[in-house]
Amino acid sequence: MKPTEIIEALRSKLNLPGGRHLYGVLGSYSALAEFARKLTQARTMDGRNFPKPLSVNRGILDAIPDDEFRQLVENEAKRPEPTAAHVAKAFEAFLRSKLKGKGLVVLASLEMIFAYHLELNILRTLAADEDRVLLLLPGRRSGGRIIMFPNMEEGNYALPTNLIAEDHLWELKD
């Protein structure tokens, strides 16, 4: 789809009152950057500008104090589970701090979530009623699945099948 078509569909969906409000846009990094630029120039149904995307990676790193982070990195090779748990906790804290009934939050730069194989259902759980989340996802549809980072050579990641409703997920065409 074209960015303007996705923005119009998103505007329409965001106008609905309650329910699940987790949305996703798929595309290449460059297509997502262009989409984000156009999105922040557009207005919601109530006349406000769409918010700028927030970096999830930056939010996670900011939530972990430097001393703790150094210690996690030093021990990660021999004990990766505590690091992944710490990153998951930081992600949840970041997400909760950005929601709290503030309307739409646009999230980009989600690489750490996938690198640490974090549970993504927290997104689905928290994105409801007044808390709405739009994910800018570097990925594409392939055989009924959503493949993240499709150009990555050493393995790939797939979104859980039912994370985002089919009619809440759009793919940008380059």
Give the tens place of pLDDT for each residue, 99-117: 987 789 999 999 999 988 8
173/128 Cα distance (integer angstroms): 28
- Give me the mean pLDDT over the 147-162 stretch: 81
- Give the pLDDT confidence score for residue 74 in this predicted structure: 83
Higher pLDDT, 144 or 57: 57
Structure tokens at 15: 């106008």
Instruction: Tell me which amino acid residue 173 is.
Output: K
157/148 Cα distance (integer angstroms): 5
Give CA angle at 68 (65, 73), nearest 5°: 120
Say whether 30 sits in a helix, a strand or coil: helix
Query: For residue 168, what are the contacts with CB-CB under 8 A and spacing of at least 6?
Result: 13, 20, 22, 23, 24
User: Whole-number mean pLDDT of the chain?
Assistant: 90
Q: Is 115 left (phi over 0), alpha (psi -120 to 50) or beta?
A: alpha
pTM of the model: 0.92
